């Protein structure tokens, strides 16, 4: 399972022993004349202006704006009474912060949920000419929880008639009372066209429940799913349900976040693919191992946008780029956490069943600045990064490696290769593939930057590479000052990891433990910051 670790530590030792092999890093990042220049501040990812953030909430597109609400504690950099923070974007890349959308009230604080445009005004909360934007969320009542009751989470709604700028809570809240389930939260609502009704999927302890409604106010319980499916190492949270087409056929994808119980520890998001008839979800991947939308440690509570522009037919996803194991302790000062890049989801089918693939949205290409085309070839270690002259070390790295598959050979013949990201202080993170264990990994160890805020942070985090391979693998990675998102083979696998090097990774090199590995093609882009 961990054959790669030895090779990596040998490489690291070798590297430290010959510091001279490294390209000298550029001077530290020039401070910018604005607030987004703090150490570790993401430069092309969304992070809150200040204070605590967790899950993305209420993601909906309306009149040219992508709305992003998020779990927010405006008075502290650690989790506390939850509000919905708010930001908008016209291109999914640049974000504008707006005032807090939803505040706690007498029913409780505002936990995760979703938002929809009620185009037909089924709720009666707006009009056909000005359809309401309706947020459906969990009220969490801390006083009830402390009193020992199990009934402290219930579902409520609020609406906006001015493009999400101001909100009114529905006077008849809650719209779904707690039926006696301790963890009963995170409603995700969508319009089910075939049945002309709203569908809600809700997390309830170790499973999800489905509800339906004609008007977003009156809800009927339809069914449940999951008690005997998927991973169960922790509580189920933040589900999502949506259709995706594959070869002209419609399939339904169910996302379920789970904490703890992720493949590399702590929080992660699993998915199921199957059929949904307006009432019941049937899992077509039944009997297989849990599948994860991302195998890295830092992509949690992700869900998809409602009401994306018609005709585009894209399913757009965003996750919270952290892990409950250490989210409240990461070494940032004015704010905590960032979101992943927005991603487009796609279904594929392989010998193991359905696979949910994700790639960054097209719009991310807007960030490309300098383009460096690489010469094919390979040495044990080869510096491939651009020389930075005061620019921020923000990169998109797109490499295709060719290797000899090792079917049936012994572990000693294992070959390991990949990408080393390194800072001017010799902090490093390694992205790699082991041809024997058939695992892709991100190695985030003691030398990756700050790590001692949690025992659960460092490690070699792996993902099973189930594809046939054919001796070629593509690594497409986005490197911000404090995160790495890796998409393997057009997003068939994703690994997202945060990390805390002092001032980003200024140098990039390829490495290989065997000369048979070749860099077949490669491009690196320097990226622009968005703030
Ligand atoms: C997931 C979660 C949700 C909950 C929210 C509270 O990270 O635990 O289940 O609604 O965070 O902030």
**Strand pairing category for 416-422 and 428-434:** antiparallel
Q: 275 and 393: one domain?
A: no
Q: 60 and 203: one domain?
A: yes
Summarize pLDDT for 313-347 with one digit per residue, the tens: 899 999 999 999 999 999 999 999 999 999 999 99
Cis before 26 (ω within 30): no
Query: Residue 8 above 80 pLDDT?
Result: no
Query: How high is the mean pLDDT of the chain?
Result: 92
Residue 59 Cα to ligand 1 midpoint, Å, equals: 15
Summarize pLDDT for 246-304 with one digit per residue, the tens: 999 999 999 999 999 999 999 999 999 999 999 999 999 887 789 999 999 999 999 99
Residue 95 Cα to ligand 1 midpoint, Å, equals: 23
Cβ–ligand 1 contact at 186 (below 6 Å): yes
Query: Residue 32 above 60 pLDDT?
Result: no
Look at 13-27, 98-112, 235-249, 308-322 and tell me which has the smallest mean pLDDT: 13-27
The answer as to whether 145 is a domain residue is yes
Q: Which two tokens stand for residue 284?
A: 């077509």
Ligand 1 atom with least separation from CA of 237: 9
Burial 378-412 (b: 16+ CB within 10 A, else e): beebbebbbebeebbbbbbbbbbbbbeebeeeeee
The answer as to whether 321 is a domain residue is yes
Cβ–ligand 1 contact at 503 (below 6 Å): no
Cβ–ligand 1 contact at 138 (below 6 Å): yes
Query: Residue 2 above 90 pLDDT?
Result: no
Which protein residue's CA is at the shortest distance from atom 6 of ligand 1? 111
Count structural domains, the chain.
Answer: 2
pLDDT of residue 451: 98
Q: 381 and 259: one domain?
A: no
Tell me how many degrees the CA angle 399-346-252 measures, rounded to the nearest 5: 155
For residue 370, what is the domain's CATH number? 2.60.120.560
pLDDT of residue 411: 80
Q: 462 and 400: one domain?
A: yes
Query: Residue 25 above 80 pLDDT?
Result: no
Domain finish residue from 323, 340, 357? 340
Q: 329 and 374: one domain?
A: no
**Strand pairing category for 335-336 and 51-62:** parallel
Residue 111 Cα to ligand 1 midpoint, Å, equals: 6
The answer as to whether 445 is a domain residue is yes
The answer as to whether 2 is a domain residue is no
Cβ–ligand 1 contact at 530 (below 6 Å): no
Report whether 331 contacts 229 (CB < 8 A): no
Q: How far out from the chain centre does Cα 340 lie?
A: 5
pLDDT of residue 310: 81
Q: 182 and 264: one domain?
A: yes
Ligand 1 atom with least separation from CA of 257: 1
The predicted model gives 156-171 an average pLDDT of 98
Look at 29-33, 134-138, 195-199 and tell me which has the smallest mean pLDDT: 29-33
Query: Residue 418 above 60 pLDDT?
Result: yes
- Quote the domain boundaries for residue 415: 12-16+366-527
Tell me how many degrees the CA angle 351-355-358 measures, rounded to the nearest 5: 145
Domain finish residue from 270, 305, 340? 340
DSSP summary character for residue 446:
G
Q: 318 and 375: one domain?
A: no
Ligand 1 atom with least separation from CA of 140: 10
Report whether 44 contacts 367 (CB < 8 A): yes
Summarize pLDDT for 88-134 with one digit per residue, the tens: 999 999 999 999 999 999 999 999 999 999 999 999 999 999 999 99
Residue 236 Cα to ligand 1 midpoint, Å, equals: 10
Cβ–ligand 1 contact at 323 (below 6 Å): no
Which protein residue's CA is at the shortest distance from atom 8 of ligand 1? 237
Q: 230 and 315: one domain?
A: yes
Q: 270 and 386: one domain?
A: no
Cβ–ligand 1 contact at 185 (below 6 Å): yes
Query: Residue 68 above 60 pLDDT?
Result: yes
Q: 140 and 228: one domain?
A: yes
Query: Residue 447 above 90 pLDDT?
Result: yes
pLDDT of residue 428: 98
pLDDT of residue 469: 62
Cα 474 to Cα 115: distance, rounded to the nearest angstrom: 36
Residue 96 Cα to ligand 1 midpoint, Å, equals: 24
Distance between first and last Cα of the chain: 41
Report whether 465 contacts 486 (CB < 8 A): no
Query: Residue 10 above 70 pLDDT?
Result: no
Residue 407 Cα to ligand 1 midpoint, Å, equals: 43
Query: Residue 457 above 80 pLDDT?
Result: yes
The kind and range of the H/E element at 317 are: strand 316-320
Look at 63-67, 157-161, 377-381, 441-445 and tell me which has the smallest mean pLDDT: 377-381
Q: Does the global pTM surpass 0.75? A: yes
- Which residues, at least 6 apart from 204, have a Cβ–Cβ distance to it below 8 Å? 181, 183, 184, 224, 236
Catalytic (active site) residue 55: yes
Q: 241 and 293: one domain?
A: yes
Q: Check 55, 294, 307, 480 and give the catalytic one.
A: 55
Query: Residue 9 above 90 pLDDT?
Result: no
Q: How many CB atoms lie within 10 A of CB 376?
A: 11
The answer as to whether 28 is a domain residue is no
Ligand 1 atom with least separation from CA of 235: 9
Cα 107 to Cα 110: distance, rounded to the nearest angstrom: 9
The answer as to whether 481 is a domain residue is yes
Cβ–ligand 1 contact at 484 (below 6 Å): no
Query: Residue 62 above 60 pLDDT?
Result: yes
Cα 151 to Cα 184: distance, rounded to the nearest angstrom: 9
Q: Which two tokens stand for residue 191?
A: 């319009």
The answer as to whether 22 is a domain residue is no
Q: How confident is residue 165, by pLDDT bands cut at 50, 70 and 90? A: very high
For residue 190, what are the β-bridge partners? 199
pLDDT of residue 384: 93
Cα 517 to Cα 399: distance, rounded to the nearest angstrom: 13
Q: 95 and 135: one domain?
A: yes
Q: Residue 86, exposed/middle/buried by CB under 10 A (0-12, 13-18, 19+)? A: buried
Write down the residue that tokens 């359905």 correspond to: 354
For residue 224, what is the domain's CATH number? 2.115.10.20
Q: How far out from the chain centre does Cα 287 lie?
A: 25
The answer as to whether 506 is a domain residue is yes
Write down the residue that tokens 């083979």 correspond to: 489
Q: What percent of the chain has pLDDT over 70?
A: 93
The predicted model gives 227-232 an average pLDDT of 96
> What beta strand segments (E) does 141-248 contain?
153-160, 168-169, 184-192, 197-204, 207-213, 220-225, 235-246
Region class of 313: left (phi > 0), else alpha (psi between -120 and 50), else beta: left
Tell me how many degrees the CA angle 153-154-155 measures, rounded to the nearest 5: 135
Query: Residue 416 above 70 pLDDT?
Result: yes
């Amino acid at each position: 399972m961990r054959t790669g670790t030895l090779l990596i530590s040998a490489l690291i030792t070798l590297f430290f022993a010959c510091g001279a092999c490294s390209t000298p890093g550029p001077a530290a990042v020039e401070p910018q004349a604005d607030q987004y220049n703090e150490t570790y501040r993401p430069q092309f990812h969304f992070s809150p202006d200040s204070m605590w953030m967790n899950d993305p909430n209420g993601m909906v597109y309306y009149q040219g704006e992508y709305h992003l609400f998020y779990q927010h504690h405006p008075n502290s950099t650690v989790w506390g009474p939850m509000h919905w923070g708010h930001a908008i974007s016209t291109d999914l890349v640049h974000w504008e912060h707006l005032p807090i959308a939803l505040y706690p009230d007498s029913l409780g604080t505002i936990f995760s949920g979703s938002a929809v445009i009620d185009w037909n005004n089924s709720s009666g909360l707006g009009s056909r000419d000005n359809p309401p934007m309706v947020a459906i969320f969990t009220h969490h009542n801390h006083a009830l929880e402390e009193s020992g009751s199990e009934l402290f989470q219930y579902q409520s709604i609020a609406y906006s008639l001015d493009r999400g700028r101001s909100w009114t809570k529905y006077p008849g809240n809650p719209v779904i009372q707690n039926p006696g389930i301790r963890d009963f939260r995170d409603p995700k609502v969508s319009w089910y066209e075939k049945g002309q009704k709203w569908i809600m999927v809700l997390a309830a302890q170790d499973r999800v429940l489905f509800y339906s409604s004609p008007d977003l106010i009156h809800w009927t319980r339809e069914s449940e799913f999951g008690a005997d499916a998927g991973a169960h190492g922790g509580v189920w949270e933040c589900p999502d349900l949506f259709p995706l087409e594959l070869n002209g056929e419609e399939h339904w994808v169910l996302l379920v976040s789970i904490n703890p119980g992720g493949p590399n520890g702590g929080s992660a998001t699993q998915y199921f693919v199957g059929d949904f008839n307006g009432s019941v979800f049937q899992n077509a991947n039944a009997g297989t191992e849990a599948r994860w939308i991302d195998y890295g440690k830092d992509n949690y509570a992700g869900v998809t946008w409602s009401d994306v522009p018609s005709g585009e037919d894209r399913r757009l996803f965003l996750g919270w780029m952290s892990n409950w194991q250490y989210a409240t302790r990461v070494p940032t000062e004015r704010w905590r956490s960032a979101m992943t890049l927005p991603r487009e989801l796609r279904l594929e089918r392989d010998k193991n069943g359905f696979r949910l693939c994700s790639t960054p949205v097209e719009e991310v290409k807007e960030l490309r600045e300098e383009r460096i085309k690489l010469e094919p070839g390979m040495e044990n270690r080869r510096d491939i990064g651009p020389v930075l002259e005061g620019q921020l070390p923000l990169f998109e790295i797109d490499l295709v490696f060719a290797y000899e598959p090792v079917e049936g050979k012994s572990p000693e013949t294992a070959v390991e290769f990949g990408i080393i990201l390194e800072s001017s202080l010799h902090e490093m993170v390694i992205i790699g593939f082991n041809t024997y264990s058939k695992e892709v990994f991100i190695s985030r160890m003691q030398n990756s930057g700050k790590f001692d805020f949690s025992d659960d942070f460092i490690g070699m985090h792996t993902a099973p590479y189930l594809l046939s391979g054919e001796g070629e693998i593509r690594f497409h990675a986005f490197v911000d000052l404090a995160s790495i998102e890796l998409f393997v083979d057009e997003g068939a696998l994703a690994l997202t990891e945060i990390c805390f090097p002092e001032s980003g990774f200024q140098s990039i090199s390829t490495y290989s433990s065997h000369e048979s590995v070749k860099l077949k093609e490669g491009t690196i882009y320097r990226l622009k910051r968005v703030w």
